[in-house]
Structure 1
């Protein structure tokens, strides 16, 4: 006669049931309540902010709806033959301009971005694909430089680029080179982990300063005469995630890298998916002085600016200090901070307690102050 499940197993099962119920509510909402009013694609639809969210909810999500897609996490997670072996699968396309910038290039960005999407699903990245759309006339020397950067980034992260494709379009029909990467990884987190898994009382951590990548791209693209040494933060986060998975375990409820749309958009997506509210402390959020100064000059909010080497981690309250200490011990988490917490109401809202003692709603990025950021 089989024994009863232990309390830990029962708690995990209850969390999984709650996640599935939330996903079903989201699925029904997509099917019956959302209407996309835009008639044509604009650059804002690629910003990662509200316009992107509306495009996905209004076009792609209802058309492609299935249990794997509906979670809308950074990677799909599935089992083979219904067994315990779980894989994560993700894809992304990179159209960043300029191709080379302080701290990185399109090739390094493509490798790191795909590795990070797998890591956010609790997976160890294993294999990548790389596909190139090249414009007629693009210099072979620059292509060699990009490919070498990709191989260096992949080797340093312990992953292999094992398949790919190449297409060429006529001069004037592209912009040098666009890169698509896909990746597969072995999932190490065998518990509910994702943006539908937040619970009231959870604590939100950010692994480092916000907005570095976006400001580095803007300064490189616009040749603005702002004296700052800001570089892109592009980096592979899988080793930091592995440390969190091993130490925090099931007390780790969600991981997300705040890329397009920044910290604000990523947190709004979490709040909507989990039907909770998230309160942030503005003074606790790390932002480099150069980024803050550039944002003030340009009229931007650093919390809506893209990052490529930072992660948001949502953990149970009793694990918050342990998670913070662990992150600060890692080279990619030395500036980590506890930036807020999860509460029950009002669901779907992110709000910011400002430095002057007020409070404001922190919405997703609206518009696109910096197109083609990644």
Structure 2
């Protein structure tokens, strides 16, 4: 073997950990991109390796008459948790932000900030998880960026994703469209993601058999719209949970969101953890829960369509939209009383997504 061959830099595939050279723009960075990202996200738009993805406008126009564009960052701690990891979360979260506008999600970008010393095996695991999630959601990751910062300048790995989709003609979904008489629907159990992350952190020595609900919701939204094209409002209940979403709807539309406490789908394990810690499941982050405001005329069809979909098997009608008190959320208890449910000041659990 010649001296030249012996001195050749090892490829990313041979390295055990990320170092600063992997963000330098040179051979090490190229090897990292090729070995880890391109092999997992393979598609024609990404394979061109231009500084931007080039998407034919005709492809977007076939799917709809308006563009939906969203962006989000993911800093969840820990990176791996029961039911998922930061990579799957990043893809599903961005897909869902597009889906709740009524859009058909099509293309994602992926920006990764890596801390020096991060294990390459963990990066591969996360990227492969992203690839599987993208395939399941029917989207392509078509462009991206990688940066490496010195040890201590970040916490292991952060991911930034943006997404593009097309909104079909005739779909008009917005927070301000809620009207008195509308029904409030949710697609399943609330609080699973928040409790799964809390348990995974290990700070409280909790042994809770709960997994994150992270999943793509675009298929569920399509089934819902097929059954009830007049859906007024949709939003995924991530940070701030169900209570925050309902407050956003109430404020935007100038109406009251009134729901029954007993109608909220919550697992017994989530209720138990909440009672122990003095936390409220209404504010837990979710990664696979959406809230829909639909006209009374199609509410039963909408609920049946949600329950027929795997992501909505536990869907429930939890209340209705009323005129007063405007801009408020009211929870009715089993004893007939009601209380105002406000937005949180701050956050129950930091770095939840």
TM-score norm. by structure 2 comes to 0.81
Match of 2:301 among 322, 326, 329: 322
Structure-2 residue corresponding to 1:340: 319
**Matched residues in 1 for 2:122 and 2:69: separation?**
29
What does residue 288 of structure 1 align with?
A: 267
Aligned to 2:292: 313
Secondary structure of 1:113 counterpart: helix
Q: Distance in 2 between matches of 1:214 and 1:150?
A: 21
CA contact (8 A) 1:237 1:332 kept: yes
Larger radius of gyration: 2
Task: Go from structure 1 to structure 2 and tell me whether the alpha carbon gap of 1:304 and 1:208 turns closer, same or farther (over 3 Å shift).
Answer: same
What SS class does the counterpart of residue 158 from structure 2 fall into? strand
Q: 1:248 — aligned with what?
A: 228
**Counterparts of residues 31-46 of structure 1 (less than 5 Å):** none
Q: 1:217 aligns with which of 184, 188, 197?
A: 197
In the other structure, the counterpart of 1:194 is 174
Of residues 178-187 and 351-360 in structure 1, the stretch that sits farther from structure 2 once superposed is 351-360
> Aligned with 2:176: secondary structure?
coil
Q: Which one of the candidate residues 230, 240, 264 is aligned to 2:243? A: 264
Alignment of 1:331-370 (within 5 A): 331-370=310-349
Deviation at 1:369, TM superposition (A): 2.3
CA distance in 2, matches of 1:232, 1:172: 28
Aligned residues between the structures: 292
Aligned twin of 1:161: 141
In structure 1, which of residues 231, 238, 241 is the aligned counterpart of residue 218 of structure 2? Answer: 238
Q: 2:103 aligns with which of 98, 123, 145?
A: 123
Contact 1:188/1:245 (8 A) holds in 2: no
Whole-angstrom distance in 2 between the partners of 1:128 and 1:188:
19
Deviation at 1:368, TM superposition (A): 2.0
Q: Distance in 1 between matches of 2:306 and 2:103?
A: 18
CA RMSD across the alignment? 1.4
Aligned to 1:299: 278
Secondary structure of 1:196's match?
helix
CA contact (8 A) 1:207 1:311 kept: yes
- Counterpart contact for 1:189–1:245, Cα < 8 Å: no
- SS for the counterpart of 2:314 is coil
Equivalence map 1:68-107=2 (5 Å):
85-107=65-87
CA apart distance, 1:202: 0.5
Q: Secondary structure at the residue paired with 2:184?
A: strand
- Provide the rounded CA distance (Å) in 1 between the counterparts of 2:346 and 2:108: 32
Deviation string, structure 1 residues 57-108 (Cα, Å, up to 9, x no partner): xxxxxxxxxxxxxxxxxxxxxxx99xx7211110000000000000000000
Distance in 1 (CA, whole Å) between partners of 2:340 and 2:223 is: 33
Say yes or no: does 1:173 pair with 2:184: no
| Residue 189 to residue 325, structure 1, CA distance change in 2 (3 Å) | farther
| Cα deviation code 1:272-331 (max 9, x no counterpart) | 011111101000000001101001101000000000001101100111111111111111
- How far 1:169 moved relative to its partner? 1.2
Report the counterpart of residue 35 of structure 2 in structure 1. Answer: none
Q: Does the CA-based 8 Å contact 2:283-2:348 persist in structure 1? A: no
Tell me, what secondary structure is at the counterpart of 2:310? coil
Task: Give the aligned partner of residue 23 of structure 2.
Answer: none
Q: Unaligned stretches of 5+ in structure 2?
A: 1-59
For the 8 Å contact 2:114–2:147, the answer to whether it is kept is: yes
Aligned partners of 1:227 and 1:167: how far apart in 2?
A: 36
Gaps (5+ residues) in structure 1? 1-79
How far did residue 111 of structure 1 move? 0.2
* TM-superposed deviation, 1:223: 4.5
CA contact (8 A) 1:207 1:332 kept: yes
**Preserved contact between residue 122 and residue 189 of structure 1 (Cα < 8 Å):** no
Measured after TM superposition, the shift of residue 346 of structure 1 is: 1.5
Offset at residue 242 of structure 1 (A)? 0.5
Question: Aligned partners of 1:145 and 1:102: how far apart in 2?
Answer: 15
Q: CA deviation at 1:357?
A: 2.7
